[in-house]
Amino acid sequence: MTDRLRNLPTMKVHPQTELTLIYAGKRLKGLASDTIATALYANGVRIFSRSLKYHRPRGLYSLDGECSNCLMDVDGIPNVRAETSLLQDNMKVEPQNVVGTPERDFMSFIDKLDRFLPAGFYYHYFHRPYRLWPFFQNRLRKAAGLGRLKPSFRMKGIFDEIYPRAEVCVIGAGPAGMQAALAAATQGLRVILLEARPWPGGFFDYRSTNDVSDIPLHQRARQLADKIEENRNIRFFPGTFMTGFYSNNLITAFQVGKETDYFDERYMEIRVESVIVATGCMERPAIFDHNDRPGIMQVACAHRLARTYGLLPGKRAIFSIGDDLGLEAAMDLFDLGLPILCVADTRSDGQAPGLVEGLEERGIPFMRGWTVSTAHGSRTLKKVTLCTLDGLENRDFKCDLLVASAGLTPSAGPLFLAQARMSYDRFTGFFLPDEMPQKVHAAGRLLGLQDPLSIEASGRLAGLSAAADCGALVKVLIKEARELLEQLPGPVRGSKFIQAPGSGRKRFVCFDEDVTVKNIYQACDLGFDHVELVKRFSTAGLGPGQGGIPGHNLPLIVAQYRRYDGDSSDPILPTTIRPPLVPAYLATYAGKSRNHPKRTPLHETMKKTPGAVFRRTGSWQRVRYFTHDFQCREEIETVRNHVGMIDVSTLGKFRVFGPDALHALQRVYVGDMSKVKEGKVKYSAMCNEDGCLMDDGVVVKTGENDYYLTSSTNRADSTAEWIRYHTRYEVWNFSLVNLTDAFGAINLAGSRSRELLQTLTDEDLSNNTFPYAGYKEFRIGGDIPVRAMRLGFLGELSYELHIPASYTRTIWDMLLEEGRPFHIQPFGLEAQNVLRLEKGHVIIGQESEIRNTLHDLGLGFLWNREKSLYKTVGAPALHFTERQNGRMKLVGFRMEDPRRPPKDGSIIVDTRIRGHVCTARYSFTLGQSIGLAHVHSDLADIGTRLEILEDDMGSKRLYAEVVPTPFYDPDGKRLKI
């Protein structure tokens, strides 16, 4: 590890705390608070990656992760931004897109082939003849892309999400952002302050100049940061990247956890009244021949490497810059020990006089109106050529570091996302807001300000304006703040310089996608001369840096091209910016795991029952089997021969009551609900407006204008919504209560169920007093109230018992205990599935889908057509569909080979697809394989032979015959005993 600078007050790394990282198999040392990138740089790593298309070597360029140069594979996660990811002990880091090593990459020959890879080359070459495109596509896919993800990859880490609310959100904790936050917080407002870097301070943080204030800027940053920390109205989120800005001032962001945080990343959705954007500036890349060579970096990158991380970025440096920050950095780095051969400034005048004098005092040659035109060196930088802006004069310098920047450009992404009206300002050379959306403010450097006092003052003004949005009485303060700002220096003239003279083939506009100026011109030549078209055709700005590097240069180059074309009146247009502003993991968006299934009141009992295998069904966790026999022979035969019971607590349960309760039922059920009699169960169905089956269940009348009804498990969550929706225009007086979770339910089924139930109650359960389709409320097991229905879903004498949830376990245990002499056994979903299949009963979602009408499913008899007055949902459609030809029908079938049921979902074919199998099982009761299927109506007649095709069956087929249902006990005698 190279020696770090010592005793700098601006240093953020801790020389006492060494961390280990393993890079390409080698153990290296870094310091606490290093990023991965700075730790690698400290270890002499200069080539960080190879570029997407040409496999050119790429190095450290900025420190804010604006390009893919620094994307690396970290601990098995590809495309991690090494520039913004903090180093952690024992991190395993691998370079990406490298065949060999970053230093010697076997694919680098592609760099020589650029002539054959113009903009949009894949459209040109590989689409003619079109039939070869799949072949080339496959090859291109293998060559393209950066990181690699193994199919076995599972994202590690803890991901969280929070939804904070506040009055004001400030994006960016530089001097302007901190002043804004303080101004608003002092008015008693809650402020959320976001900062992408791990600490506040912005561009004050690493600067030692005290030209305008009596203390160095980094000390001023510390002062403001202390005030932020002390202010209890401000919640400060460091390491937090804003991703989106939506209407109603909703800000999305994600926070990267520090080692002491409980999360690795945390998604944030922040809702506030007013927003302040104070994101400052980034540098506009200088464009010249081979401007991507490792050894070339931006001004702030070089400056921060030294000041924040204690790393002198090179041994012999050239500066080619376009603004005063570049001059300041050159002086400061010189003072820290960096030998500087010369400083070229694209501006011929306008430099702050103190800075020019400072260079002179230090003996650094200063060249006004010069810029870098070419970088030399095959892997890293060896030499640069500087030239005058007209390109007539040249000078070469041997060096290993080129600090280059064309000037500043605002980080205006949040303003674009906020839908501010932005236009190009010719004085600053910035895209500036013409008009801000309501309750959104901008402050600081991104408005073109450079003077530290002006920047702070603009922050304070924005903070007060935001306070005013929230109702604070700050008119006078705003007036004073505005007057103060007007007295201070305003926006400064920006550099207009776009690219060096000359027209080399390797000047990169976009590092991520390897797009050169030439590629941009090619796109323009082909007629894609609008900046949005150029972007898409050339792919400049479509890489992982989200347009950070090419974002501003692309519009300028396109405008330059159009000027050559004679079109000088054209406005300079920005490209559209979309969220997320910075790349984020899908895992971060997914946030917390929400796999929290609902449990029935019997869950604990089920867990203790031997052999219980649970399955997630909808929102519920239910038992599928109680044995390891997946055919459930024992469970099925127990029900058919003795008595069994199943937990059916997941059924939807509702009470509907009030003077107009019956009207509401008539509206949603297809049957005539006035026929529901006390003491009787009525089975009915609900359709949607297309006449397709939505739900089925039973309704009982528990009193005058008082009904209790069940829905299928999957509809439990939406039944209340459904009934209220379809009665929303009526002024009917009825109430609806969801009792799904208030009641547990057990279905006790089998010929001996009456005998068993009778042992628990004095109520007369004989067939005469409690017959099939009867309903009774009584007490069992002493004093537990139960609602009992005699239903026939499974084809045996059975009682569906609805019990207050907290008593359900007690009843279950009693039945199990008392049931021993009757050979009782619990059964699960699979046994229930077979039992009801033998009866030909439909399960919604299994034998029906959203396009099956009541008639398709053979349930037309449930529909009462004489109640049009009630506007029954679906009735108008049923009038039509019941006579419609060519619909699919639900039929029962029996396999020719009794031992071989087809898989659920197999298709029914003749010369084409004619239907599909819904459910098919071997029936132990019948000694046959049976099933239900949807087939075209011309295959629905009894006796029709069906050809069934399973996956991977080739020319083989299974054969079945359409038979009437129910398969078991067709007369329903066993229900009525």
Partner 1 sequence: MSLTISCPICGKRDGYEFRFGGEERGPRPDEEGLTHEQWCSYVHMRINKAGIQREWWYHQEGCGSWFTIERDTLTNLEVEGREET
CB of 551 to partner 1, least distance (A): 24
Could you tell me how many helices (H) and strands (E) the chain has, helices first? 23, 49
720 near partner 1, judged by CB under 8 A: yes
The residue (of 144 and 850) whose beta carbon lies closer to partner 1 is: 850
106 near partner 1, judged by CB under 8 A: no
**Both tokens assigned to 952:** 């991977």
Residues with Cβ within 8 Å of 289's Cβ and at least 6 positions away in sequence, in order, are 373, 374, 375, 500, 502, 504, 506, 507
Report the residue from 690, 818, 882, 904 that binds partner 1 according to the rule CB under 8 A.
Answer: 690
CB of 603 to partner 1, least distance (A): 24
Nearest to 442 by CA among 283, 218, 274: 274
Report the residue from 72, 286, 877, 948 that binds partner 1 according to the rule CB under 8 A.
Answer: 877
Report the residue from 127, 479, 592, 724 that binds partner 1 according to the rule CB under 8 A.
Answer: 724
CA–CA separation, 750 vs 752, rounded Å? Answer: 5
CB of 722 to partner 1, least distance (A): 10
CB of 770 to partner 1, least distance (A): 35
Output the CA–CA distances (angstroms, integers) from residue 760 to 756, 812, 827, 920, in the order listed. 7, 12, 21, 37
The residue (of 130 and 729) whose beta carbon lies closer to partner 1 is: 729
The residue (of 615 and 871) whose beta carbon lies closer to partner 1 is: 871
The residue (of 378 and 884) whose beta carbon lies closer to partner 1 is: 884
CB of 696 to partner 1, least distance (A): 22
**Residues 157-196, mask of contacts with partner 1 (x by CB under 8 A):** ------x---------------------------------
CB of 164 to partner 1, least distance (A): 13
Size of the site for partner 1 (CB under 8 A): 20
The residue (of 92 and 879) whose beta carbon lies closer to partner 1 is: 879
CB of 711 to partner 1, least distance (A): 15
247 near partner 1, judged by CB under 8 A: yes
250 near partner 1, judged by CB under 8 A: yes
Give yes or no for a contact between 297 and 60, defined as CB atoms under 8 angstroms apart.
Answer: yes
- Strand intervals (E) in 119-225: 159-162, 168-171, 191-194
CB of 248 to partner 1, least distance (A): 5
Phi, psi (5° rounding) for residue 270? -110, 125
Report the residue from 248, 260, 568, 569 that binds partner 1 according to the rule CB under 8 A.
Answer: 248
Residues with Cβ within 8 Å of 273's Cβ and at least 6 positions away in sequence, in order, are 167, 168, 249, 439, 466, 469, 470
Transcribe 23-86 into DSSP letters. ETTEEEEEEET-BHHHHHHHTT----EE-TTT--EE----SS--SGGGEEEETTEEEEETTTSB
CA 651 to chain centre: 33
Composition of the chain by helix, strand, coil, percent to 5: 25, 30, 45
The residue (of 612 and 739) whose beta carbon lies closer to partner 1 is: 739
Residues with Cβ within 8 Å of 828's Cβ and at least 6 positions away in sequence, in order, are 612, 613, 622, 623, 624, 625, 626, 632, 635, 646
The residue (of 886 and 927) whose beta carbon lies closer to partner 1 is: 886
**Both tokens assigned to 842:** 């439909």
CB of 188 to partner 1, least distance (A): 22
The residue (of 270 and 468) whose beta carbon lies closer to partner 1 is: 270
The residue (of 340 and 878) whose beta carbon lies closer to partner 1 is: 878
Transcribe 656-672 into DSSP letters. EESTTHHHHHHHHBSS-
728 near partner 1, judged by CB under 8 A: yes
Give SS3 for 831. helix
CA–CA separation, 946 vs 930, rounded Å? Answer: 13
871 near partner 1, judged by CB under 8 A: yes
Contact region for partner 1 (CB under 8 A) — 106-114, 423-431, 643-651, 725-733?
725-733
Helices 324-335, 299-307: crossing angle, 10 deg rounding: 30
CB of 275 to partner 1, least distance (A): 12
The residue (of 194 and 948) whose beta carbon lies closer to partner 1 is: 194
742 near partner 1, judged by CB under 8 A: no
Contact region for partner 1 (CB under 8 A) — 153-161, 243-251, 766-774, 800-808?
243-251
868 near partner 1, judged by CB under 8 A: yes
Nearest to 333 by CA among 310, 297, 306: 306
Give yes or no for a contact between 175 and 224, defined as CB atoms under 8 angstroms apart.
Answer: yes
Neighbours of 854 (CB within 10 A): 25
Scanning residues 650 to 689, which ones bind partner 1 (CB under 8 A)?
Answer: 689
Contact region for partner 1 (CB under 8 A) — 221-229, 274-282, 788-796, 867-875?
867-875
Residues with Cβ within 8 Å of 555's Cβ and at least 6 positions away in sequence, in order, are 424, 531, 572, 573, 574, 575
CA–CA separation, 730 vs 726, rounded Å? Answer: 9
The residue (of 505 and 724) whose beta carbon lies closer to partner 1 is: 724
729 near partner 1, judged by CB under 8 A: yes
**Both tokens assigned to 349:** 């005048």
The residue (of 153 and 163) whose beta carbon lies closer to partner 1 is: 163
The residue (of 320 and 872) whose beta carbon lies closer to partner 1 is: 872
Contact region for partner 1 (CB under 8 A) — 45-53, 194-202, 524-532, 723-731?
723-731
Alpha helices in 146-280 (DSSP H): 175-186, 217-230
Q: Which residue is listed with tokens 């400030």?
A: 170
CA–CA separation, 646 vs 812, rounded Å? Answer: 9
Nearest to 197 by CA among 294, 304, 94, 295: 304
CB of 618 to partner 1, least distance (A): 16
Report the residue from 276, 748, 875, 918 that binds partner 1 according to the rule CB under 8 A.
Answer: 875
Contact region for partner 1 (CB under 8 A) — 134-142, 246-254, 578-586, 934-942?
246-254
CB of 723 to partner 1, least distance (A): 10
Output the CA–CA distances (angstroms, integers) from residue 675 to 37, 657, 665, 678, 976, in the order listed. 77, 16, 11, 10, 21
The residue (of 271 and 383) whose beta carbon lies closer to partner 1 is: 271
CB of 713 to partner 1, least distance (A): 18
CA–CA separation, 69 vs 58, rounded Å? Answer: 6
CB of 689 to partner 1, least distance (A): 5
Scanning residues 880 to 939, which ones bind partner 1 (CB under 8 A)?
Answer: 880
Scanning residues 271 to 290, which ones bind partner 1 (CB under 8 A)?
Answer: 271
Report the residue from 618, 658, 876, 898 that binds partner 1 according to the rule CB under 8 A.
Answer: 876
CA 263 to chain centre: 17
The residue (of 449 and 668) whose beta carbon lies closer to partner 1 is: 668
Binding site for partner 1 (CB under 8 A): 163, 246-248, 250, 271, 689-690, 720-721, 724-725, 728-729, 868, 871, 875-877, 880
